[in-house]
Structure 1
Amino acid sequence: MSLLKWGGLAAIVEACTYIFGFILFFGILNTTGLETPKQYLSFVIEHRDSYFLGYLISGILFSLALIILVHATYQTFKQVSPEFINITTIIGYLWAGLVLASSLIFLSSLGPIAKYHAIDPDAALVINRSITIVVDALGGGIELVGALWVLAISYVGLKGKIFSQWLHYWGVLVGLAGVLTIFAGFSFLADNGFFSTTTAIFGLGQIVWFLGLGFAMLNAGAKQA
C-alpha cells in the first residue's frame, strides 16, 4: 500500500480518535455534576481504567497516527513549497511529540495518584492538580502547535491546488480558531466565552478536516495505483 493511502487511513484514524474522545470524556465520563476538585479526583480514580483506555486511544493512538500523516503530507505537498513544507513537517512532528508526552505523563500518573489517594487524599489532590497543569500545557490547553500545522498544510494545499479547495479553506478556518486559543491566557480574556467557541471549532472542526483529508488522500492514492 502506498504512503498516500497510509496517510489517508491515518487521517481517518485521527478523526475517529477525536470522536471516541468526545463520546467518552464528554458523554460517558461526564463530570459536570462534580462540584469540587476532590470529587473530580475520586471520580477519576473510580473510573481509572476508562480514563486509561481513553488516553491510550485519544492520546497515544492519535499521536502515532499523526506521525504517519505528517510524513505522508510531506511527501504529497513538498513539490509545491519545499522549504515551507519542511518547516511545516517539523511543526507536525512537534505536535505529535507533545500529545504523546502529555498522554504518557497522564497514564503513568494514574497508578501513583490512586495509591497516594488511599493514604493521603489531600496530598494526592495537590499532585493531581500539578500533573493536570503539565498535561494541559503539553496536550492541548493551548492549541497553537496543532493549529499552526493545520493552517500551514491548508495554505500549501491552496497554493498548489492539491485536493479540493473547500477542504483547505476549512482547514484555514480551523487552524485560525486554534491559534486564537493562545489569547485566552490574558487575564482580561480568560473568562471570555469567545475562546471556548474557538476551542470547540478547532476540536470539532478537525474531525471534518481529518475525514476530508483522509478520503482525499485515499482517492488520490487509488488513482496512482
Structure 2
Amino acid sequence: MTLTRAGGLAALMCAGTYLFGFALLVTLLAPLGFGTDQIDVQAVMAFNHQRPGLLTVWNTTIYIVNALALALLVVSLSARLRTFDPGWASVAHAIGLIWATLVLGAGMIANVAVEKVSALYPTDPEGAAVLWSVMHSVESGLGGGNEIAGAVWICCVSILGIASRTIPSATNFVGLCTGLSGLATLIVPIGDIAGAVFGLGAIAWFVLIGLHLIRFQRQA
C-alpha cells in the first residue's frame, strides 16, 4: 500500500471517529451535557461508575484512534504538498503533528480520568467529582475545548492546495470554512457553536480529502 492511499484511508478513518463521537454525544451521552458549558458533573460521575467501559471506548475512538490516523494523514499530505513548496509543506507537517499529539494526549488523560474516578467514586463521590473536573479541564484544553491547532493545520493544507492546484477546489473551500470555524472557538459566546461547526466541517473535509487521495492513487 502506498503512502498516498494509506493517507486517504486514514482520512476516512478520522471522519469515522468523528461520526462515532457525534452519534454517542447526541444519544447515550446527551443527558450528561458533554460538548456544552452545562455539563452535569454528578450525572457524569454516576454514568462513569455504571458504564466506565463505554466512556473508555468513546475516548479511545475519538481521541487515540483519531490521533494515530491523523498522524498518518498529516505525513501523507505533507509528502504530496512538498513537491510544490517544501518549506510551507514542512510548516503544515509540523502543525499537523502538533495537533495529533494534543489529541493523543487528551485521550490518554480522559481514559486515566475514567479509571481514577471509577476507583474513587464509591468511597468519596465529592472527591471524584473534583478530580474529574480538573482532569476534564486539562483534556478540554488539549483536545476539545478549542480547535486552534486543527484549524490552523486544515487552513494551511487548504491554502497550499489552492496554490498548488493539487487538491480539488471544493475540498479546499470546505477546508477553509472548517478552519475558520475552528479559530472561532476562541470567541467565548459562540465557542460551542463554532466547535460543532468545526466538527461537522471536519467530517466533510476528511471524507473529501480521503476520497481525493484514494482516487489520485488509482489514477497514478
Calculate the TM-score normalised by the size of structure 2: 0.94
The residue aligned with 2:50 is 46
Q: Counterpart in 1 of 2:131?
A: 127
Displacement after TM superposition at 1:196 (Å): 2.8
**Contact 2:32–2:41 (CA<8 Å) still a contact in 1?**
no
- For 1:196, the equivalent position in structure 2 comes to 192
Q: Which runs of 5+ in 1 are unaligned?
A: 185-191
Instruction: Output the CA distance in 1 between the equivalents of 2:40 and 2:5.
Output: 47
In structure 2, do the counterparts of structure 1 residues 166 and 36 end up closer, same or farther at CA, with 3 Å as the change threshold? Answer: closer
Counterpart of 2:209?
213
Match of 2:31 in 1: 31
- Aligned partner of 1:180: which letter? A
Q: Distance in 2 between matches of 1:36 and 1:152?
A: 37
Q: Is residue 130 of structure 2 the alignment partner of residue 149 of structure 1?
A: no
Query: Per the alignment, in what secondary structure is the counterpart of residue 167 of structure 2?
Result: coil
> Where does residue 164 of structure 1 map in the other structure?
168
- The alpha carbon displacement at 1:199 in A equals 1.4
Aligned to 1:13: 13
From 60, 71, 79, give the equivalent of 2:75. Answer: 71
- Report what 1:140 is aligned to: 144
Deviations 1:100-130 (A, max 9, x none): 0110111122122111111111111110100
In the TM superposition, 1:56-95 aligns within 5 A as 56-95=60-99
Q: Please give the TM-score of this superposition, normalised by the length of structure 1.
A: 0.92
Letter of the 1:220 partner, please give it: F
Which residue identity lines up with residue 197 of structure 2 in the other structure?
A: I
Q: What root-mean-square deviation, in Å, do the aligned CA atoms of Structure 1 and Structure 2 show?
A: 1.5
Q: Distance in 2 between matches of 1:10 and 1:2?
A: 12
Which aligned segments of 4 or more residues in structure 1 are displaced greater than 3 angstroms?
Answer: 32-36
Amino acid at match of 2:183: V
Q: Which moved more, 1:212-221 or 1:197-206?
A: 197-206
How far has the Cα of 1:36 moved from its partner? 4.2
Partner AA of 2:214 in structure 1 = L
The question of whether the paired residues in 1 share the 8 Å contact of 2:147 and 2:183 is answered with yes
Structure-1 separation of matches of 2:19 and 2:40: 27
Aligned residues: 216
Give aligned-pair identity as a percent.
Answer: 28
Q: More displaced, 97-106 or 43-52? A: 43-52
Report the CA distance between 1:4 and its aligned residue: 0.4
Give me the whole-angstrom Cα distance separating, in 2, the residues matched to 1:146 and 1:36: 27
Q: CA deviation at 1:134?
A: 0.3
**What is the alpha-carbon distance in structure 2 between the residues aligned to residue 81 and residue 176 of structure 1?**
23
Aligned amino acid, residue 7 of structure 1: G
* Contiguous gaps of at least 5 residues in structure 2: none
